[in-house]
Amino acid sequence: MFEARLGQATILKKILDAIKDLLNEATFDCSDSGIQLQAMDNSHVSLVSLTLRSDGFDKFRCDRNLSMGMNLGSMAKILKCANNEDNVTMKAQDNADTVTIMFESANQEKVSDYEMKLMNLDQEHLGIPETDFSCVVRMPAMEFARICRDLAQFSESVVICCTKEGVKFSASGDVGTANIKLAQTGSVDKEEEAVIIEMQEPVTLTFACRYLNAFTKATPLSTQVQLSMCADVPLVVEYAIKDLGHIRYYLAPKIED
């Protein structure tokens, strides 16, 4: 028996919004420690890794490890039927071929349930090694989204250059060149507005704008985003999900032809 309950459907809606542009379907691996999802996008350029800890749920029970392959378009249709403040419960029997998603209004006067067919997805799992990153940048998630959106107008690629002074995002194309520099913030009143750079050595890497923009669909989940970079390894873009877990996106760098 698997049962997981969250106080607010809005969290699950935001999580789905953060992955459904990259993935058509995905396997949710459930165990007593929580729910994990790891999947590459269709082009195998990026990897999404979602971790939801069992202690972050209002109720969590998972008697046997369970892999639930879900069509994310179908799940989005179901979640559209929930009000943001509804409770949401996911339930499945062991070895079941369906999952039930139930919404309850705050006053318990409206209860709706949706049964969704599960899929058998033959998904590969990739082992992600620990990396000592050269640069780790923490910055406001909305600022990162804004930069990715703005620079995508100028080029398919964005160059991220990080030094101890700051981080520079550049794009160059037919229109010309765009550069956006962010300095590390001195003192800020609000932690969520800070730009913090931890640098071992400077790094310059090039990434495809369309993937960065897809990652920023996670912006509503978190006030801050963390970018971890190292030469010749994938960029890690991480959004914390408060009291519940995190979503990490890995993006392979572009290399010169």
- Cβ atoms 6, 14 nearer than 8 A: no
- Structure-block tokens of residue 152: 């995508």
Residues 51-110 that bind another protein (CB under 8 A): none
What minimum distance in Å lies between the beta carbon of 124 and another protein?
Answer: 5
In angstroms, the CA 66 to CA 80 distance is 25
Interaction between residue 257 and another protein (CB under 8 A): yes
Identify which of residues 40 and 180 has a Cβ nearer to another protein in the complex. Answer: 40
Enumerate residues 6+ apart whose C-beta is below 8 A from 220: 14, 17
In angstroms, the CA 76 to CA 53 distance is 22
Interaction between residue 186 and another protein (CB under 8 A): no
Identify which of residues 83 and 131 has a Cβ nearer to another protein in the complex. Answer: 131
- From residue 195 to residue 214, what is the string marking binding to another protein with x (rule CB under 8 A)? -------------x------
In angstroms, the CA 205 to CA 251 distance is 11
Compute the C-alpha angle 256/18/21, nearest 5°: 65
Region near another protein per CB under 8 A, out of 45-53, 137-145, 172-180, 197-205: 45-53
Residues 214-253 that bind another protein (CB under 8 A): 233-234, 250-253
Interaction between residue 119 and another protein (CB under 8 A): no
Size of the site for another protein (CB under 8 A): 23
Among 3, 21, 45, 74, binds another protein (CB under 8 A): 45
Helix pair 9-19, 72-79: axis angle to 10 deg: 150
SS3 219: helix
Among 128, 175, 188, 231, binds another protein (CB under 8 A): 128
Tokens 């991220």 belong to which residue? 160
In angstroms, the CA 26 to CA 44 distance is 14
Identify which of residues 51 and 184 has a Cβ nearer to another protein in the complex. Answer: 51
Interaction between residue 40 and another protein (CB under 8 A): yes
Region near another protein per CB under 8 A, out of 38-46, 85-93, 182-190, 197-205: 38-46
- Structure-block tokens of residue 136: 């780790």
Tokens 């939801």 belong to which residue? 52
Among 109, 122, 124, 132, binds another protein (CB under 8 A): 124
What minimum distance in Å lies between the beta carbon of 170 and another protein?
Answer: 18
Ramachandran area for residue 11 (φ above 0: left; ψ -120 to 50: alpha; else beta): alpha
What minimum distance in Å lies between the beta carbon of 176 and another protein?
Answer: 23
Q: Which residues bind another protein (CB under 8 A)?
A: 40, 43-47, 124-129, 208, 233-234, 250-257
